[in-house]
Amino acid sequence: MNLIHLSLITLLLGKNVRDLSTNGNSTNILWHECPIQKHDRQKILQQKGCVIWITGLSGSGKSTIACALSRSLHSRGKLTYILDGDNIRHGLNRDLSFRAEDRSENIRRIGEVAKLLADAGVICITSLISPYQKDRDACRALLPKEDFIEVFLDVPLAVCEARDPKGLYKLARAGMIKGFTGIDDPYEPPCSCEIVLQQIKGSECMSPNNAAEKVISYLEKNGYLRA
């Protein structure tokens, strides 16, 4: 690139060409600031944008609790949006398999979308197995510390397998599904999550509404439901 080209770029951008950056496979990109910031959007919504990351085994009740939580917050006049693992694979992530590297990319993409929703002032609820600690940690690192709330749905494998709402454990045990979390692929429980929703009294589990209220209690205590 010669000096004429450099001068032209500088003129068009109205900034020093040294402000151009590279990120991943994208080159010559420039972050564009907007005068309306997150705190302005939160003031309108009267809530604090955050990501509630629900993780647990297949069949542990993640989607059910996410819906109960969204419904309860909606009744309080709060704006939420659920990013459900299966739903996202119908569109944005339909090109990804369940291989370890694709699972990581699946979580990375969802983490980036969740970050945008939180920045918009929305209470974003994700419902994902997200089995690997490093992937969850990478999503946490995308946001300010207080904006990522990890919720571990601690339901034993035996209980999840007994429920088997989608019949996937049966297929995995029969060898018809490979790399299934909890059977022939690991699930790494959170090391230091904000909330644990734990099974009680044998096969009896906390009801979805009670689980939702426990999360809402955390949100209220920590000021997320006001701007």
Q: Which residues are catalytic?
A: 130
- C-alpha 48/C-alpha 118 separation (Å) is 8
Largest CA distance in the chain: 74
Angle at 179 between CA 171 and CA 103, to 5 degrees: 125
Q: Which residue has the tokens 């609820």?
A: 125
In the chain, the amino acid numbered 222 is N
Q: Give the pair of three-digit tokens for residue 91.
A: 């569109």
Query: How close are the terminal C-alpha atoms of the chain, in Å?
Result: 49
Q: How far is CA 50 from CA 86, 92, 103, 128, 147, in A?
A: 21, 21, 23, 16, 4
- C-alpha 162/C-alpha 203 separation (Å) is 9
